Structure 1
Amino acid sequence: MTCLAPPRPFVPSDPAQAREFADIIQKDFETYIAEIQRYFLCLDDERARAFTEAQEVSQEYGRFLESLSKDR
């Protein structure tokens, strides 16, 4: 799974432009907040998946090492 962080909202440095596009900028911030929350959930899910995989690989490696010692 790939978790992609959302782009940061753009706020013009010119106060007049910021006021002119206030509705769009506000919507961009609201969208960002919703998307960053989904991003954090994705990261949590990926961390849990990777942790489980690492445990499985570690156990598999242990079995592999055991099989090598039995062959000697």
Structure 2
Amino acid sequence: MKQTWAVLAILCWGSASIEGNCLPPIASFMPTDADAVRAYADLLRRDAETYFDDVEQYFRCQDEERREVFEQARAVSEDYAQIFEILWSES
């Protein structure tokens, strides 16, 4: 029974290790006034390109976090199966 509590303590402690580090990008402001668009065309272009680069980085980050969480879920599943083995061996 002590083994069961030790395994549960380790599993609970490990669940806090994943943090959400992916922050979605903030959309660029795009004016609708034609004079403003002409006056700030270069700035608007740079802002839009930066935004799309940030979007791409955001999606890559989410993909990486998904892979990490999937791997952790697989490991927890294996650990959880061991709990049942321990409990069944004690019966």
Partners of 2:43 and 2:36 lie apart in 1 by 11
After TM superposition, what 4+ stretches of structure 1 lie above 3 angstroms from structure 2?
A: none
Q: Aligned-pair distance for 1:33?
A: 1.3
Partners of 2:34 and 2:82 lie apart in 1 by 65
> More relative contact order in 1 or in 2 (CA 8 Å, sep 6+)?
2
> Which residue is 2:36 aligned to?
17
Equivalent residue for 2:50, pick from 31, 39, 44: 31
Equivalent residue for 1:5, pick from 18, 24, 27: 24
> Which residue is 2:81 aligned to?
62
Q: Matched residue pairs, number?
A: 72
User: Percent identity between the aligned chains?
Assistant: 36
Q: Which string of whole-angstrom CA distances, capped at 9 and with x for unpartnered residues, describes residues 31-62 of structure 1? A: 01111111111111101101000000110100
Partners of 1:28 and 1:68 lie apart in 2 by 59
Matched, 1:53 2:72: yes
TM-score of the two chains, using structure 1 as the length reference: 0.91
Question: Where in structure 2 are there 5+ consecutive unaligned residues?
Answer: 1-19
Question: Where in structure 1 are there 5+ consecutive unaligned residues?
Answer: none
TM-score of the two chains, using structure 2 as the length reference: 0.74
